[in-house]
Amino acid sequence: MKKLLVLFLLLAFTSFAMSADFALDAGAKKIDGTIYFRARGGDLYDDTSIAIAPSFGFFLTKGLVVNLNFEFATTSSGGTSYDSIFFGGGLDYYIGAEKGKQFVPFIGAKALYGSDTASTSYFNIILNAGGAIFLNDHVSLDVVAEFYLVNATPDGSSTSVSGNIFQIGLGISAYLF
């Protein structure tokens, strides 16, 4: 994970030499925040949850952004509730990214590591698809659907359990170029 953070910081600092012409162009930076509503199932889950997920990104080429992701979630099921925190990285690709387009669909994938207050550690692979609705040249409203493949290991256990999460999110992104 340290290598990913170093790579992200290196890209961020060297990007000052790159000039982007529009929000989704090479060299542009992205800061966003999304609120997710979850329905979870499988062997691991039978509950609902809400999560807040900020991320920071850098466009490597037109439409392709590498992200540093964070996620904070709270979950309650019956009389039990717990909080969790995740971090990781991913890639998103904006399909047909062109200057002046008001709606741009995107697809992506990310990996998140984390733990919760119930002493469980997680490794999640997430696939996503959605769309960015540009309000102006520098701000978009984002709608996204994500599917998680979850691997969880309770503290002190040598075995892990798996599950899945489907979530729908609404977010806002700011683009610096």
Walk along the chain (177 residues) and give the pLDDT tens digit of each residue: 677 666 666 665 555 556 789 999 999 999 999 999 886 666 666 677 899 999 999 999 999 999 999 999 998 776 788 899 999 999 999 999 999 999 999 999 999 999 999 889 999 999 999 999 999 999 999 999 999 999 999 888 888 999 888 899 999 999 999
What is the DSSP pairing of strand 29-41 with strand 47-61?
Answer: antiparallel
What residues have CB less than 8 Å from 13, skipping those under 6 apart? none
> Considering the entire predicted model, what is its pTM?
0.83
Contact predicate 161/43, CB 8 Å: yes
Where do runs of H (alpha helix) occur along the chain? 2-14
Taking the domains of the chain in order of start, what are their residue ranges?
Answer: 2-176
Domain 2-176 maps to which CATH number in 2.40.160.20, 2.60.40.10, 3.40.50.170, 1.10.1040.10?
2.40.160.20
Place of tokens 């919760």: 116
